Amino acid sequence: MIGSELDAAGLQDPKLRAAFRECKKINARYGKTFFLATRLLAPKQRPAVHALYGFARRADDILDDFDGRGSELRADQLQALSTRLFNALVENQPCDDDPTLTAVVHTARKYDIGWNLFDDFLTSMRMDLTVTDYPDRAALDRYMYGSAEVIGLQLLPILGTVGPREDAAPHAAALGKAFQLTNFIRDVDEDLTRGRVYLPADELAAHGVDRELLKWCQDNRRVEPRVRRALMDQHAAARQIYADAQPGIAELAPASRPCVAAASTLYSEILARIEEIDFEIFGRRATVGKGRRLAVAGSGLVRSWNARLRHGSN
């Protein structure tokens, strides 16, 4: 299957094929929902999406692996990754000894994805080395632009649009933001373990919630009423961002719409699961069951095949 995807994408060079294979393995291993959604894209689109995921995952691993590395070493590793990407993408230096970079540089050149989007992404990743709390929505939004919105913008030229790309861009960015805010709400417990809170401190404080109270919830494995009310507000904010992003699906190339619609459905249903468990997110992880994920993917696959037949995308 991967061979047919590589052939469809016009990737014949053995080193390039090996690089994209490695990125697909990373996506399949770590990006369960995201990987499932990529199966709804045309085969020629999938390798590029895997490459972007592989690079993002590599940066994320530098930050979040619990392996004894200090923040200074992590900062050096993140800077080294940034420098190598810049040298390859902007300065045209070779990087064929590094499969992840080889694949993402090829993708960036093919789809005209500018260095500035990668730079913005890496800037937000650097914030994770020193920033553990966000005082207000504006501060969190600055982080989320680089860590989530630019991912939507990077994907946009791969997905294709029916009109000017800039018309679809705000919606693509909003969907990336919605996905990440969903993760932030679901993963408060896990993020606390890493010493981080990815929700606006002033909005939590409006409900009498601070880091100390969140830690109490974590220690006691139950949600305190003030925390529940604060999470309900964040839940509503995420729902609104999904609503803002929704019109952008119609602006995508028809063959790409089933993939993005399925991803939006599955991620937004995580919010539904959070609500179903009454926001008891400490000690529990809100997930969409495998059966539901397969049902959404199956329906999307039919729509994807039909769209590709009608519009001649392979």
Residue located via tokens 């919630």: 209
The pair of structure tokens assigned to 51 is 């490459």
pLDDT greater than 60 at residue 307: no
Which H/E stretch holds residue 260? helix 257-276
pLDDT greater than 60 at residue 152: yes
Mean of the per-residue pLDDT values of the chain: 91
Domains of the chain: 1-115 (no CATH), 131-313 (1.10.600.10)
What's the burial of 34, exposed, middle or buried (CB within 10 Å: 0-12/13-18/19+)?
A: middle
Bigger pLDDT: 290 vs 113: 113
pLDDT greater than 70 at residue 9: yes
Nearest-Å Rg of the Cα atoms of the chain is 20
φ and ψ at residue 161, rounded to 5 degrees: -135, 160
* Helix, strand or coil, per DSSP, at residue 304: helix
The pLDDT of residue 70: 80
pLDDT in tens, 244-296: 999 999 999 998 998 899 889 988 999 999 999 999 999 888 888 778 777 76
Report if pTM > 0.85: yes
The pLDDT of residue 208: 98
Judged by average pLDDT, the poorest of 78-82, 151-155, 222-226, 308-312 is 308-312
Cα distance between residue 189 and residue 285, in whole Å: 9
pLDDT in tens, 192-201: 999 999 999 9
Determine what percent of the chain is predicted with pLDDT higher than 70.
91
pLDDT greater than 70 at residue 113: yes
